[in-house]
Amino acid sequence: MNIGLTGNFASGKGEAAKILKKLGFSYHSLSDVIREELRKDGKSTSRANMTIKGNLLREQFGPRALSLKIKESIKDGDNVIDSIRNPFEAEELKTLGDFHLIGIDAPIESRFLRLKKRGRKGDVKTLEELKAAEKLENKDVYTNQQLDRTMAMADMIIINDSTKKALKAKILNAINDWKKK
């Protein structure tokens, strides 16, 4: 089974990926492709640089570039593919077979509090900055991040507005439902 994860800033994609890894899924991230390219360029992996570089890679090599690169590392078995932010990436990953896209979301106020709590370098500092950053992630250019369109492609949306235990239960329910089909 191949499970893709998409979602807004601090929605819980990382927590969902941790849960899936504990269940035996191999972890892959489109963001890791971008981080590697930034390291080669000698640039920091700030959120702004990640967005710019990801968009540039899609412009140079097509909107499926990140998913084509990550597919090279995916083996048979259970895989989780994190950080899917463009509909063309999701479409390409569907060619893996037995692919299910999960959209992870939470109320923006909750996500902002999570951002403040985790305190990552480069994270937004105000709710207004978060709203502006998310607006940029939805620019209507096929080589850019188009998170809303990608979320609309999800086989299921999980609202992560409670505990990690509740998130795990929702993920397990989804997996069990897909295995029955």
Q: Residue 29: enclosing H or E segment and its boundaries? A: strand 26-29
The label of the residue with tokens 């080669």 reads 40
The whole-angstrom separation of Cα 167 and Cα 156 is 13
Report the share of the chain in percent with pLDDT over 90. Answer: 73
Contact yes or no for 20/74 (Cβ under 8 A):
no
- pLDDT tens for 89-142 read 999 999 999 999 999 999 999 999 998 888 777 777 889 988 887 877 767 666
Q: What is the CATH number of the domain that holds 112?
A: 3.40.50.300
Structural domain range at position 168 = 2-180
Is residue 73 very low, low, confident or very high in pLDDT (cuts 50, 70, 90)? very high
Q: How many domains does the chain have?
A: 1
**Mind listing the pLDDT tens digit for each residue in 20-53?**
999 999 999 999 999 999 999 999 988 788 888 9
Q: Name the token pair of 177.
A: 């439902």
pTM across the whole model: 0.91
